[in-house]
Amino acid sequence: MSDNLSKYILTTIAYYDVMDYPMTVFEIWKYLTKISSGDSNNERFSLKDVMVELENEKLQKFMEEFQGFYFLRGRKSIVLQRIERNKISVRKIKIVKRVVFWLRFVPFVRSVAIAGRLAMKNAEGKSDLDLFIILKKNRIFTGRLLVTLVVHLLGKRRYGNRISDRICLNHFITTKYAVLGKDLFAAHEYAFLLPIFGAKTFSKFQKKNNWINKYKPNFEFSIRSSYVIADSKITKFVRKNLEKILQFDVIEETLSQWQEKRIVNNPKSKQQGGIILCGHEELAFWPNFENQGPKVFEKFQERISHLK
């Protein structure tokens, strides 16, 4: 067995401890994490390997187990917290599915997935509902506007102080499947995506982004069919015919110029520590990103240094 496995297991438990996320044996194996994407890229481990290594006395000095969850020593309280957040997340996912039911009719929408803490089933009661949306290539600005309008008309769009149980439309890509961020935090985010609509399109996104395995060598994408809302003849018919009306390049070009100007002039786009991506292949809006990826990694390094 590789001498690296204990290191990877402890790295995984410590990284997700920052998110108050104790892990099952299966989750440790599936989301096994390497800090550097350059370390032993082809090194994979079996579930049995992980189960055996978790019994290693040296490793057990740093972690505990309770009700089937593993976590850093002294963090037993996050187990019951995760169980409670799982219940909260199940309720919130039902809200998302009701919204996605209508998004199937929206022109140029090809896939919708839940992102963030909700995808991990680790959401708090006051949390919003992050979505990751794939739109037809060359129609990202048209698609984004139409999605925003529908979610707003449904009374579920997040804006101002309306946050809890509201849809946060902060990440769109196209069917070219290109994403700019390809670091450890991005690998975690994409690994946990929970597709709700457009399973075939989402599968293509998975194949195009196998760089995730550089950080998570055991990870394999899977579609949990119990969460997926199927397309139908009616939704396909409506979407197809509306796309014929809205397919002209002049519409996309006009909406592109208008939205790009609004994004640039938005005060949130200028917030220090934020990340705003505004292109024809990816739109992403994380004005408080420094409190997400960088902060998670900073706290992770602190935990690792204490363990050493």
Cα angle 272, 274, 277 (rounded to 5 degrees) comes to: 130
CATH number (domain holding residue 74): 1.10.10
Q: Are 72 and 137 part of one and the same domain?
A: no
- Structural domain of 275: 83-292
List pLDDT tens digits, range 144-190. Answer: 999 999 999 999 999 989 999 999 999 999 999 999 999 999 999 99
Q: Are 192 and 150 part of one and the same domain?
A: yes
What span, in angstroms and rounded, lies between the C-alpha atoms of 184 and 214? 9
Q: Dihedrals φ, ψ of 186, to 5°?
A: -65, -40
Q: Within its chain, how far is the Cα of 9 from the centroid?
A: 22
Residue 203 scores a pLDDT above 90: yes
Widest distance between CA atoms in the chain:
66
What span, in angstroms and rounded, lies between the C-alpha atoms of 137 and 61? 51
Residue with the bigger pLDDT between 305 and 22: it is: 22
List pLDDT tens digits, range 70-86. Answer: 999 999 999 999 999 99
Residue 37 scores a pLDDT above 60: no
Q: Are 53 and 190 part of one and the same domain?
A: no
Q: Are 76 and 89 part of one and the same domain?
A: no
> If pLDDT is split at 50, 70 and 90, which confidence band does 36 have?
low
Q: Are 114 and 252 part of one and the same domain?
A: yes
Residue 137 scores a pLDDT above 70: yes
Tokens of 119: 């995808």
Residue 191 scores a pLDDT above 70: yes
The percentage of the chain sitting over the pLDDT mark of 70, rounded to a whole number, equals: 96
Q: Are 107 and 47 part of one and the same domain?
A: no
Q: Which residue has the tokens 């409670």?
A: 84
Residue 195 scores a pLDDT above 70: yes
Domain count, the chain: 2
Residue 308 scores a pLDDT above 70: no
Provide mean pLDDT across the span 294-306. Answer: 88
Task: State the average pLDDT for the chain.
Answer: 93
Provide mean pLDDT across the span 277-292. Answer: 90
The model carries a pTM of 0.93
Q: Are 250 and 267 part of one and the same domain?
A: yes
Residue 99: what pLDDT? 98
Q: Are 201 and 119 part of one and the same domain?
A: yes
Q: Are 26 and 155 part of one and the same domain?
A: no
Q: Of the spans 32-36, 121-125, 221-225, 302-306, which averages the highest pLDDT?
A: 121-125
List pLDDT tens digits, range 214-270. Answer: 999 999 887 777 889 999 999 999 999 999 999 999 999 999 999 999 999 988 888
